[in-house]
Amino acid sequence: MSGARPPRAPAWLALLGLTLGVCVTNGFARFAYGLILPAMREDLGWTYAEAGWLNAANAFGYVFGALVTLALSQRVPASRLFSVGMAGCAGFLLATGLTEDFAAQTAWRVLTGVFGAAAFVAGGALSAAMHRDDPRRNAMAIALYFGLGGGLGMVLSGAVLPFLFARLGPGAWPMAWLLLGGASLAFLPLCIWASESLRPPRAAPGAPRAARARLPIRAMAAAIAGYGCFGLGYIVYVTFIVALIASRDGGPGLVAATWGMIGVGIAVSPFAWRGIFARHASGRPLAMVLGVMTLGTALPVLTGSLAGLMVSALLFGLTVFMAPGAVTSFSRRNLPEPAWTAGVSLFTLVFAIGQTIGPVAAGALGDAFGDIGPGIASAGAILALGAGVSLLQKPLS
């Protein structure tokens, strides 16, 4: 039937299915690597640069995945991109726990990034289409998509993995990946069902195709540059904050508390930022997010105290998923609907390129100084630059 579509899910259930996608693509596939990294380094004898390379490999996959999603965005429904991306991401998370070979690990991290980028971008476009006639509810849906799922991923991984390693030692890292992959597969049916419920009906035979919308890249330059700085800076904190804690003799309880505080910040972040997203069509929301993140990134290096670490984790959690939320809201407010997926894909591409550089550069600094602190401090400086550049972004209309 030309107008057939799956039965519509309740809005809250559809949004839950999308947010579980972020739990997998970001909370598990990307951020949990920071929890598993110290065990892999110890068990496999890696340097900081080698450890950073695997996260860079994941980011290379994100670059390719964002490019493919950008190319397919106006030919393949976002719901299909989301479903395929989720299935691939879950499968390669499982594969990461099945080998010690560095080349194979690199391949699995690349492929996790490819499929994770497709799901992340498509899910953002699907959330942007919810409540399209109500700016405040739309802003809330976007913020919840990025914040709720990411927070859940951080809380779950932070509550389990540090104690797994404390009990079984660094050799338990394959089990950690298998646990994350198994949980991802358990989420998959709801994720796919939710995305299909948000798929727009197919056009009737003979109906004209919607014109392709061109992205005004020059007019978006400040927001794109600011988001690139976000990609460069945030990934350093995620990759190495646990290594910093370990280098200062922090135990699994402190690691779990830090990860849990980041997760709490992420879960609360949609309620803190929804009003700002709803009010501004400029680069101001992104600038504010990056400004707060700068402070959160710098605190553990500047203070070295437990209180500083906890405040740092909370501030980082309050902002890390609101940067993609800010650019998704910017795309929603400034671009025609046919260009939403392409806009989010472009931002994700620039962000992913930054991700490929950040971990390796920070890891090299850590190896040179014998301390990862200078690498994390440099990430804070880059985030501050991104905040300043983002303030230059004006609404497109």
pLDDT in tens, the chain (397 residues): 334 344 455 777 888 899 999 999 988 988 788 789 888 888 988 887 777 788 778 878 888 888 888 888 778 888 899 999 999 999 999 999 998 888 999 999 999 999 998 998 888 888 878 877 677 787 788 788 877 887 788 788 888 998 899 899 999 999 999 999 999 999 999 999 988 887 654 444 444 444 456 789 999 999 999 999 998 888 788 777 777 787 777 777 888 888 788 888 888 888 888 889 888 999 999 999 999 999 999 888 888 788 888 999 999 999 988 998 899 889 888 988 778 878 888 898 888 788 777 767 767 776 776 666 777 888 889 999 999 999 999 998 7
The per-residue pLDDT for 349 is 84
pLDDT of residue 121: 86
**C-alpha dist (Å) from residue 251 to 35, 156, 242, 288, 316:** 12, 18, 10, 33, 21
The encoded tokens of residue 306 equal 């437990």
Tell me if 83 is assigned to some domain: yes
What 8-state DSSP symbol labels residue 10? P
Answer whether residue 209 is part of any domain. Answer: no
Of the CA atoms within 13 Å of residue 299, those in its CB half-sphere come to 18
247 within domain boundaries: yes
Task: Please say whether the beta carbons of 159 and 256 come within 8 A.
Answer: yes
The pLDDT value given to residue 377: 82
CATH of the domain at 55: 1.20.1250.20
- Give the predicted TM-score (pTM) of the model: 0.75
Structural domain contains residue 15: yes
204 domain residue, yes or no: no
Q: State the amino acid at position 163 in one-letter form.
A: F
pLDDT (0 to 100) of residue 28: 92
CB distance 392 to 222 below 8 Å? yes
Specify the number of domains making up the chain. 1
Residue 121 DSSP one-character state: H
Residue owning tokens 């009990």: 167
Q: Using alpha carbons only, how large is the chain's radius of gyration in Å? A: 20
**What pLDDT was estimated at residue 204?**
43
Provide the domain limits for residue 22.
11-199+217-390
Is 41 a domain residue?
yes
Let me know if residue 6 belongs to a domain: no
Query: Distance between CA atoms of 99 and 101, rounded to whole angstroms?
Result: 6
pLDDT attached to residue 208: 44
Q: What is the pLDDT of residue 213?
A: 60
CA distances from 340 to 134, 306, 345, 381 (A): 17, 42, 8, 30
Is residue 39 a part of any domain in this protein?
A: yes
